[in-house]
């Protein structure tokens, strides 16, 4: 079993999700936001396994900010790549929803590709993983 959490980087801004204990299929349902001045960068995700001595990387993924829509949540299923002895292997899938809200708080309209239980949560800045969507949900491939 793993104790996974996600490190999220947008430019010079860093976030860390909560740790989910003893699971291979966590759902965080957390929301993070920040101001993005330059949309030429990426949102980088690093799924980690929390350990007592040092945390282990489970996989990485990224989304180009240029592919993130304005005012409408976009779901992304990101294959997690892990480099292992000069080979890249897929280690699972990270599910996130991303959107730009502009300068005022707005609730995005679902794009029709979300599960029926999806309820978007509006906020200012750059939300990552709205409540109600299996945000940063991770499924490990065996």
| 21-42 residue pLDDT tens | 999 889 998 988 888 888 889 9
pLDDT given for residue 84 in this prediction? 60
Under 8 Å CB-to-CB from 116, ≥6 apart: which residues? none
Assign domain 4-139 one CATH number from 3.30.365.10, 1.10.10.10, 2.60.40.150, 3.30.200.20.
Answer: 2.60.40.150
The Cα diameter of the chain in Å comes to 46
Nearest Cα residue to 131 out of 123, 121, 140: 121
pTM of the predicted protein model: 0.70
Backbone angles phi, psi at 124, to 5 degrees: -80, 160
pLDDT given for residue 91 in this prediction? 74
pLDDT given for residue 141 in this prediction? 42
Q: Count Cβ atoms below 10 Å from residue 62 Cβ, excluding itself.
A: 14
pLDDT given for residue 138 in this prediction? 41
Point out the residues of the chain with pLDDT beneath 70: 83-90, 103-142
**Is the distance from CB of 88 to CB of 121 less than 8 angstroms?**
no
């Amino acid at each position: 079993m793993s104790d996974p959490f996600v490190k999220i980087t947008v430019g010079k801004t860093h976030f860390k999700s909560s740790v989910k204990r003893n699971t291979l299929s966590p759902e965080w349902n957390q929301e993070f936001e920040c101001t993005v001045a330059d949309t030429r960068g990426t949102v980088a995700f690093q799924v980690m396994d929390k350990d007592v001595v040092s945390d282990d990387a489970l996989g990485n993924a990224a989304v180009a900010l240029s592919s993130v829509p304005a005012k409408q949540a976009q779901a992304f299923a990101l294959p997690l790549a892990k480099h292992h002895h000069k080979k890249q292997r897929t280690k699972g899938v990270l599910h996130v929803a991303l959107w730009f809200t502009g300068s005022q708080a707005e609730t995005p309209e679902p794009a029709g590709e979300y599960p029926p239980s999806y309820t978007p949560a509006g906020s200012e800045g750059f939300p990552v993983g709205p409540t109600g969507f299996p945000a940063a949900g991770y499924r490990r491939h065996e």
